[in-house]
Chain A
Amino acid sequence: MSTGLKEKIGMKLETYTFKVEAGKVKELALAIGDLREEYLNGEAVLPTFPTVIDFWGGGASTSDLLGLNVKKVLHGEQEYEYLGEIKPGDEITVTGVVEKVYTKAAMNFVILKKEFVNQNGETVLISRSTVIERH
């Protein structure tokens, strides 16, 4: 395990706020080829839209933050728990923490837990990402 990775358990990640724009929802729908009317006309968001909030809302690179080698990093797992609805026009604030770190089969596993809260203070989503660093 790279030096200090274990010590990152409990570390808070960057907090950020993202306004859900209908245009970004449509762009994701077109890229995936998931052309449901409600995604194209801004009535609903795709189940994987939270990844857009993550990448466009946050500026910091997780690999940099954790000191991982970007050429060795893979996305191992992604879990979403939908507690409420995310709609175009919402303003979502994301907070995150390093929940778990472990080594298995000569790879480092880092689990990041993020909470997505809307402008009314409702937690609408919990995201857990497993980041894998190959040795």
Chain B
Amino acid sequence: MEIGYQFEPLHKEEITHSQLVRYAGASGDFNPIHTVVPFAESAGLGGVIAHGMLVKGFVGQAIGQWFSTKDLVKFSTRFRAMTRPGEKITVQGSVVDETADRWICQAEAVNEAGEVKVKSSFEIKKR
């Protein structure tokens, strides 16, 4: 591991409406903008949007492939763009800095067109 190291990207399958319903039940976030198309349209969103935390969950999955999540000490995420059913997300990341006892890393979730959906920074305890 060193500064500049690029992690193996995580390629997720296409997000489906069913997945959003399932995520709503699992997380307990039943805001209808994620599951009820007429409601999301009336909110001016042009259809349902994925829970930001689902996309953060994809980043969490990637971190679990790159490191042991037991070493994860901080995980911040900024939600940048809406994600919709039909989109395929890839999570990519790299090591950007280090301290005596931590790796400072960044990750982003992008769609097939390269649009950044979420940007995360996270810190890993060095072993």
Contacts and interface: CB of A to CB of B under 8 A. Distances in A.
Interface of A: 24, 27-28, 30-34, 36, 44, 46-48, 51-52, 54-56, 70-72, 74-82, 85
B84 interface: no
A32 B61 contact: yes
B63 interface: yes
| Majority secondary structure, B binding face | helix
B53 to A, nearest CB: 5
The residue in B60, B61, B72 that gathers the most chain A C-beta atoms within 10 A of its C-beta is: B61
Nearest to A45: B69
Contacts of A74: 52, 79
Interface residues of B, number: 36
B112 interface: no
Given A55-B27, A71-B42, A47 B52 contact: no
B70 to A, nearest CB: 7
B78 A34 contact: no
Contacts of B78: 76-77
16 contacts: A28-B57, A31-B26, A32-B57, A32-B60, A34-B58, A34-B61, A46-B60, A46-B64, A47-B60, A47-B63, A48-B57, A70-B31, A71-B33, A71-B42, A71-B43, A78-B52
Contact of B57 (A46, A79, A85): A46
A55 to B, nearest CB: 3
B77 A79 contact: yes
A38 to B, nearest CB: 9
A79 B76 contact: yes
B29 interface: yes
B75 A31 contact: no
Interface in B28-59: 28-29, 31, 33, 42-44, 51-54, 56-58
B74 A51 contact: no
B23 interface: yes
Contacts of A28: 26-27, 57
